[in-house]
Amino acid sequence: MKKRTTNNPKSKNRHVAEDRSKKSGFKSAGSYYKSSGKLGAKGSGARPGTSKPFSEKPKTRSGNTAAKRSLDGKIRLNRFLAQAGICSRREADTLIETGVIEVNNKIVTELGIRIDPQKDVVHYGGEKIKVEKYQYVLLNKPKDFITTSKDPQNRKTVLELVSNACIERIYPVGRLDRNTLGLLLFTNDGMLAEKLTHPRNEIGKTYQIEVDKTIQSGHMKMMLEGIELEDGFAKVDDIQYADNGTNKSGAVITLHSGRNRIVRRIFEHFDYKVKKLDRIQFATLDKKGLPRGKWRHLTPEEVGFLKTL
């Protein structure tokens, strides 16, 4: 018979995890997500489902069964613990190896175990672990709000605008500076947040910009070819004059870089003063039907499209 913690296990195990985190240098899931915009590092490959006990190592499969591995609803145990806010995925591996995690009332010590969050029951220190429901909220950001969870100068933050969207804690995917308007996505799905912000995935973002003078066609060509900024090479994917070409001091610009103030810095490189910058599209999402300062939940179809990018 396994001995379980009975005296306030939640508090005790939180201190255990924190002590191990301090010794190993790991961050908790909450602080990790806040600082990096994700709940944990992207997982390696999935392992096939199996009806055998967790203590037995499942046999590998090949061929046509590979496609089913991502569709069986199972995720790695360390990812489950990270999404539940217990710790980071690396710290979760340590907890698993030390034998303090139970799956279906059996102690699990093998790394790489996959579980079905909808069917399998996970305990940590005698307490059942539950993952929060994923939320996806799209905001049409107004001016004078900063993209942060808390500001030491007590300026208005974007989280104030979505505070009543859901009971779960959600975080912005990427950022818009204080004076930039437009689309900003919030979620507690760290895997999707990482996917949408990682440079290797080249997720497109489209902006409408207004500057203080006529934009020279030669400068637009140079933006397409690429220019050298103080922090490296930068280029746009597409740029056109605004209002079907009738507005020469405005442009619609698409790029996939997420570097800080990248659009403003590209135009400032050519001595244009930016008067207005508005993100009108992010990945497959646009502002249609979403007034300034308002938010809405994504539809299941929209979430599905984002996950296939």
State residue 243's pLDDT score.
94
How confident is the prediction for the chain on average, in pLDDT?
Answer: 80
Say whether pLDDT at 273 is over 70.
yes
The yes-or-no verdict on residue 71 having pLDDT over 60 is no
Task: Average the pLDDT over 252-259 and give the result.
Answer: 94
* Model confidence pTM above 0.75: no
Q: Please give the DSSP secondary-structure letter assigned to residue 27.
A: P
Q: What residues have CB less than 8 Å from 250, skipping those under 6 apart?
A: 208, 209, 210, 211, 215, 241, 242, 243
List b or e across 101-118, with b for residues whose CB sees 16 or more CB atoms inside 10 angstroms.
Answer: bbbeeeebeeeebbbebe
Structural domains of the chain, ranges and CATH numbers in brackets: 9-128 (3.10.290.10), 136-308 (3.30.2350.10)
pLDDT confidence band for 72 (50 / 70 / 90): low
**C-alpha to C-alpha distance for 69 and 158, rounded to whole angstroms:** 38
Collapse the DSSP code of 107 into the 3-class scheme (helix H, G, I; strand E, B; otherwise coil) and give the result.
Answer: strand
* CA angle (282 as vertex; 281, 286 as ends), nearest 5: 40
**Per-residue pLDDT tens over the stretch 9-40:** 444 444 444 444 444 343 333 333 334 333 33
Active site residue 238: no
- Stretch 269-280: mean pLDDT, rounded? 97
Q: What is the pLDDT of residues 74-111, one digit of tens each?
A: 888 998 888 777 888 889 999 999 999 999 999 999 99
- pLDDT tens for each residue of 132-172: 788 999 999 999 999 988 888 889 999 999 999 988 889 99
Tell which phi-psi region holds residue 271, choosing left (phi > 0), alpha (psi between -120 and 50) or beta: left
Residue among 141, 171, 109, 143 at smallest CA distance from 290:
141
Given 151, 177, 212, 243, the catalytic residue: 177
